[in-house]
Amino acid sequence: MRQRGRPWWIAGGIVVLVLAGVAGLALGAAGLPLRGVTLEVLNLLPGVGIDSGLTEREAAIVTRIRLPRVALGMLVGAMLALAGAAYQGVFRNPLAEPYLLGVAAGAGLGVTVVIALQPSTAAGLPVTAPLAAFTGALGAVTATYLLGAAGGRARSAEALILAGVAVSAFLTALQTYVLQRHVEVIRQVYTWLLGRLGGATWGEVRMLLPYAIISAVVILLLARPLDVLSVGDDEAAGLGLDPRYIRIALLAAASLGTAAAVSVSGLIGFVGIIVPHLVRMLLGTSYRVILPMSMLLGAAFLVLADLAARTVDMPREVPIGVVTAFLGAPFFVLVLRATRRTGP
């Protein structure tokens, strides 16, 4: 029944995303009329010429400052939420999330090394940042899985999270060592680590987009096999699927998406646990629904979180990582308590 209604849920997710995008463009230190903002965005489409009623300054705020920021927020939120849902399916663990698994820390170490060796310019991060972040992220999730599986407890939620904490601590120690050896980039790295979308440019959007497309396509194509894996490896093998290769492909794609997102936005935690769980609560446990809806609602969630980050303490801006942690930490406690009641 839910599968037949899937197009309606997807349409609802798109509506939520559009509304979040319009809010992100219209609201802020300089409040702009919703109608004018909408028409100004439509004016960017080929062949469209409408008088939005905005002044030249207001139009510049929409198209040059807020639009790339909203676009980047959508891409980052979609990738973090999609990766979280994929990790939860691969590990059959409701607490799996890029931040908690150490994936974000691994990606952060990779970017820190790149910044230390090749400081960013005014144009943004070095082009090698996503690749370095991917290397660190993939190494981190592999280490977390192997450490969590020690002693035959691979499916234990507590074991996996403790392994993620240990891996994150080790990678953070390495990161601190790198920063001590390159003190001239400490401020730059620290600002990046707090998570930020401020100052987003179309260059960062273009840098993230190809990685996001590859990651999303691979994960969404494997939604049906992931549903089969959730039943059991024997059932998957009986249907002609190789669980090992499916998991490797999903881990690689999810780590690529996470790494690319982290490389441009910094460490933004808990998106990958909040959004997939909300989708699962509303729409059920099929990953053919969870994965696309996590993308849509993850994009909307981060745009709204960024809106809160730049409006809650105007004219100052709160790091978006602080906002998501403020929302995500209590949510994580609730999920952990529910997991302990129902068992791993």
Nearest to 197 by CA among 126, 266, 270, 281: 266
As a whole number, the mean pLDDT across the chain is: 84
pLDDT interval class at 344 (50, 70, 90): very low
Return the domain boundaries, the chain. 68-342
The 3-state DSSP class for residue 277 equals helix
Helix (H) or strand (E) segment spanning residue 209: helix 202-221
- Helices 6-26 + 67-91 axis angle, to 10: 140
Q: Which of the residue ranges 37-46, 57-66, 188-197, 207-216 has the most confident prediction, judged by mean pLDDT?
A: 207-216
Average pLDDT over residues 194-203: 80
58-117 residue pLDDT tens: 888 888 889 999 999 999 999 999 999 999 988 887 777 787 788 888 988 998 888 888
Q: Is the pLDDT of residue 341 over 60?
A: no
Percentage of residues of the chain with pLDDT beyond 90: 25
pLDDT interval class at 235 (50, 70, 90): confident
pLDDT at 210: 92
Q: Which of the residue ranges 116-120, 122-126, 278-282 has the most confident prediction, judged by mean pLDDT?
A: 278-282
Q: Is the pLDDT of residue 122 over 70?
A: no
Q: Is the pLDDT of residue 137 over 80?
A: yes
Alpha carbon of residue 100 to chain centroid: 13
Average pLDDT over residues 304-321: 87
pLDDT at 255: 87
Q: Is the pLDDT of residue 139 over 50?
A: yes
Q: Is the pLDDT of residue 3 over 70?
A: no
Nearest to 89 by CA among 259, 240, 288: 288
pLDDT interval class at 342 (50, 70, 90): low
Q: Give 299 or 252, the one with higher predicted confidence.
A: 299
Q: Which overall architecture, per CATH, does domain 68-342 show?
A: Orthogonal Bundle (1.10)
Give the lowest-confidence range in 53-57, 95-99, 139-143: 95-99
pLDDT at 291: 95
- Residue count (the chain): 344
pLDDT at 307: 93
Helix runs in 222-286, H state only: 223-231, 233-238, 243-265, 271-283
Average pLDDT over residues 336-343: 62
Its pTM stands at 0.86
What's the angle, vertex CA 28, arms to CA 23 and CA 32, rounded to 5? 70
Q: Give 49 or 291, the one with higher predicted confidence.
A: 291
Q: How far apart are CA 224 and CA 119, in angstroms?
A: 43
Q: How far apart are CA 275 and CA 293, in angstroms?
A: 9
Give the lowest-confidence range in 18-22, 147-151, 153-157: 153-157
pLDDT at 266: 82
